[in-house]
Chain A
Amino acid sequence: MLQTLNRPALEQETLRVSALHALVYCPRLFYLEEVEELYTQDAAVFAGRRLHAELAKANDEDWDELTLESPELGLRGKVDALRTRDGQIIPYEHKRGRCYRGNNRQPQAWESDRIQILAYALLIEAVLGVPVSEGRIRYHADNVLVHVPLNAEGRQAVHNAIHQARQLRQSPQRPPVTDNERLCVRCSLAPVCLPEESRLAHNPDYPALRLFPRDDDREVLHILEAGTYVGKTGEQLKISRQNQPDEKFPARQIGQIVLHSFSQISTQAMHFCADQQIGLHFISGGGRYIGSFDTRQGSIQRRIQQYKALSNPEVCLNLAKKLVACRGQSQRKYLMRGQRGMAEIPPPLTAAIDQMQRLLKQVDLAPTIDSLLGLEGNLAACYFGALSHLLGEDTPPELRFTGRNRRPPHDRFNTLLGFGYALLLKDVINAILVVGLEPALGFYHQPRTQAPPLALDLMEIFRVPLVDMPIVASINRQQWDVDADFEVHKTHIWLSDSGKRKFIELYEKRKQETWKHPATNYSLTYRRILELEVRLLEKEWSGEAGLFGQLVLR
């Protein structure tokens, strides 16, 4: 399985000329695009395309767009424009930006652009069998035309680049981030590459300029009413509810659709969601996470690295320790926080806090995953045993909490926890899918029931801040109606529609609050932190370890 790393087929495959452009710009960019197959399109990419669309319309001159491939040379590509000047064939490239200016202010091509146009020139020679003496690049922002001669040095430079590209394609190792930070500012893959975080991982004092991922502030649509129909019309999503006029939403404003209970969604709408990268998640009427529509297959290379790392027991044990320590410490800190402002601190609360301290000391020494599971169980027992002391005195008895029970929950507090964890699970899975990791391969939890292990692993980090804390706070604010917000059955208790509505609001609002990330020292919304944490986990096994699992409550 892991042999696929040395994909021999790739050797035969020609390189896109634009990949050479990326290589000269930054070898890591080349690697992320060509080997890990990650592409993102930023504003500049679309602006460039529009320039080409406009140029194509202004066809006052001969306009030839040619797709060429030469296996001998090892290149393929689409030439923007070929023109004949005085009997000479000359390839042209159009760039939106400005040219490079050296010391003497002479306009010059950027090195990556230079290699690109030279590669096109070589490609034309090889395929069409005509000699090419130069290429030209027009920089539209400062309206400069740069001539790039195809001489012996230029030919050699292209061949060198091709050679380097082939070697990198065979390498299992992602190249380091570039030293030239200015390149990253304009790099379309920065949200995936996370150059700032990589620099931070190597040097904790590194002053990060900005951090990724950017917040995806598209809306999350929760479809609560059973029998609702989700369809697509044009570029919009259409939601039809019983006895209500249809509602339409511009697709680009929606980031996730969560279908609670039994609603319908058309196949067309599902295709559309896949196309627009809208996450689609299903939660049962009883508040259980069912699954997600996963179409965002991560690059196989990225997953192979994950398999390699996570089939190593030592790597798993180390990551699991970070995880257990992270959750345990947050639980303990939360109990300590609860003590503040109490007139009289209940002795069981103090006892739990002390006991947890002792247990936490053992986490780092745990020899096996099994022993960690034992420790985690003890930590959780202490924590949940003491959690009820954080509830105010006027909490109605129905909302009191005596201990964790689930599948199905027997009391209201556990119902709230269960529903909260289901919502959290869908967000963690959403983040895992966006990042392109394999949710089924985790390092701590064993494959069980519906939830994929990696998602259960990552969830540990967020249970306290995103679910436990808002629940306790909402109970203390007396937000719950013990009758109207719950449905009491013989064997279990579920949230009623009004209860779910309240909870979703509570949870989604919480996700928009910010938290100062202890490792990066940046204030980020929880929404972003969810994805960031998955990316930091991925970095644990790709040479930039150290930032994962440090999200501990203060």
Chain B
Amino acid sequence: MSEHKNWYLICYDIREPKRWRKAYKLLKGYGDTLQYSIIRCRLTMRDREKLRWELEKILEPEDSLLIVGLCNSCLERICLCNRPEAWSIQDTGFRIL
């Protein structure tokens, strides 16, 4: 039983550059940028809630944020409909550099 993790797609629109940079930096600590302002993360519930809290401290009411949780069949479909590099997964638990 490893702690349950899910994939999330996080998209945002932040109206002010300073806040944008802050949020961007934070999100890069949790996952990988797929495209400008679209980040994908694999998170436990705990990390997801932590991230939501940390983002809430940065964002203002005029900013928007969308966190999309993906189930396994969503993931399969993403891989199916896209070019292979759109969603590559490295999940060995270790890396040797």
Contact = CB atoms under 8 A, between A and B. Distances in A.
Interface of A: 41-47, 49-50, 53-54, 57, 210-211, 214-215, 217, 219-225, 228, 234-236, 239, 241, 247-248, 250-253, 501, 504-505, 508-509, 511-512, 524-525
Contacts of B56: 50, 53-54
Contacts of A512: 93
Contact of B29 (A49, A215, A224, A251): A251
Interface string B43-64: 0111111101100110001000
Contact of A49 (B31, B42, B44, B53): B53
B29 A250 contact: yes
B50 A41 contact: yes
B94 A508 contact: yes
**Looking at B3, B52, B95, B97, which has the most chain A CB atoms within 10 Å of its CB?**
B97
A504 B30 contact: no
B82 interface: no
B32 interface: yes
Nearest to B44: A43
Given A214-B2, A235-B25, A47 B96 contact: no
Given A221-B94, A239-B97, A44 B47 contact: no
B15 interface: no
Nearest to B21: A234
Instruction: State the 6 A-B residue pairs at the shortest beta-carbon distance, nearest first.
Output: A235-B29, A215-B2, A46-B49, A50-B53, A508-B94, A234-B25
B53 A224 contact: no
Contacts of B94: 219-222, 504-505, 508
Contacts of A44: 49
Nearest to A213: B3
A486 B90 CA distance: 29
Interface of B: 1-3, 5, 25-26, 28-32, 41-42, 44-50, 52-53, 56-57, 61, 92-97
**Looking at A42, A235, A239, which has the most chain B CB atoms within 10 Å of its CB?**
A235
B9 to A, nearest CB: 15
27 contacts: A41-B46, A43-B44, A46-B52, A46-B53, A50-B53, A53-B57, A54-B56, A214-B1, A214-B2, A215-B2, A217-B2, A220-B93, A220-B94, A222-B97, A224-B96, A234-B25, A236-B28, A250-B29, A250-B30, A250-B41, A252-B30, A253-B31, A501-B96, A508-B92, A512-B93, A524-B1, A525-B2
**Looking at A53, A221, A508, A509, which has the most chain B CB atoms within 10 Å of its CB?**
A53
Contacts of B61: 57
Contact of B1 (A215, A220, A247, A505): A215
Contact of A234 (B5, B29, B31, B47): B29
B32 to A, nearest CB: 7
B95 A222 contact: yes
Majority secondary structure, B binding face:
mixed
Nearest to B32: A250
A210 B50 CA distance: 23
Contact of B52 (A47, A57, A501): A47
Contacts of B96: 222, 224, 501, 504-505
A345 to B, nearest CB: 37
Contacts of A501: 96
A214 B44 CA distance: 11
A15 to B, nearest CB: 26
A504 B26 CA distance: 31
A504 B41 CA distance: 26
Contacts of A214: 1-3
B21 to A, nearest CB: 9
A219 B42 CA distance: 13
B49 A50 contact: yes
B74 to A, nearest CB: 21
B12 to A, nearest CB: 16
B95 A234 contact: no
A508 B41 CA distance: 23
A44 B96 CA distance: 35
Contact of B28 (A220, A250, A505): A250
B93 A508 contact: yes
